[in-house]
Amino acid sequence: MKFDDAFLKSLESLLLLARRLQAGPLPGERTTPRAGASLEFREHRSYTPGDDLRYVDWNVFARHGQLHVKQFAAERDLQVLVAADVSASMGFWGKREQALSVAAALGYVALARGDTLSWAAFAERRLAGAEGLRGKSRAVDLLRGLEAAPAGAGPTRVAAAGDGRARGLVVVISDFCDRATREALRGLRPRGGGLVAIHVVAEEEIRPPVAGAVRLVDAETGEEADADIDEAALDRYRAATQARWDALAAFCARESVPFQRVVASTPLREVVAALLRPGGALSRR
């Protein structure tokens, strides 16, 4: 996975899209600093394009000729965890690439909004990640970390998306090929915070390009089975796959977990728009 300069530039347009679709913060986000707000000054950071000019420290600019932005300690410091599944089952039909791209986009929006961002790439265990990123200047660290995340060789273990310490907002991006998904999602919900499940699927999963005598190999366990695929077998497979997907969506609805299904081939801008627009999994509630 490689995020080039064009992708980085596209994130700015996605940020503008997010601001247009949402008049306010993400679910659970703290109140953003306002002129005259009673907030405790915390530190300076380098100015990045798009920062609010009201928080530029002009005294620092006058002395050093460099733009720095004041950051404040808000009463509630929202922490956002974005976790992307990179397990073996995600390695087909662009699912892993879509998951990492969505993680990059949502992480960038969180950084631009002043949240404290943590990210993780997981499979059977947590394979990569970082904690405590703040400010748009850390976007490059986020992208470089995600693009260097290794591809998992083992099964999906959704519980590995978190470490039990998360608070604020947890976003899990996965195909959820884990029989323990329901228990894992319950365990990942942060106390006093929110959990969002983004289900990445591929069109080929519901309409597999196979026919005739084939040998099927489980991508995550390596188990093999010979099968003779005809239309009746494909119909049974499609019905079982759709039933599994529907069961996951129904579970999230019962548990009040915002849920969104994302097709791997869908352009990222369309995915982000669907997540953020009213009714989407990350819309204001």
Tell me the two tokens of residue 155. 């099964």
Tell me the two tokens of residue 281. 């999994």
CB 185 within 8 A of CB 255: yes
Domains by residue range for the chain, with CATH:
76-276 (3.40.50.410)
Query: Best-predicted range by mean pLDDT among 212-216, 239-243, 275-279?
Result: 239-243
Q: What is the pLDDT of residues 51-100, one digit of tens each?
A: 677 778 888 888 888 888 776 654 445 789 999 999 999 999 999 999 99
- Which residues on adjacent β-strands are paired with residue 70? 44
For residue 74, give every residue at least 6 positions away whose Cβ sits within 8 Å of its Cβ, in sequence order, or none: 30, 31, 33, 39, 114
Q: What is the pLDDT of residues 151-197, one digit of tens each?
A: 877 789 999 998 767 678 999 999 999 999 999 999 998 877 899 99
pTM of the complete model: 0.79
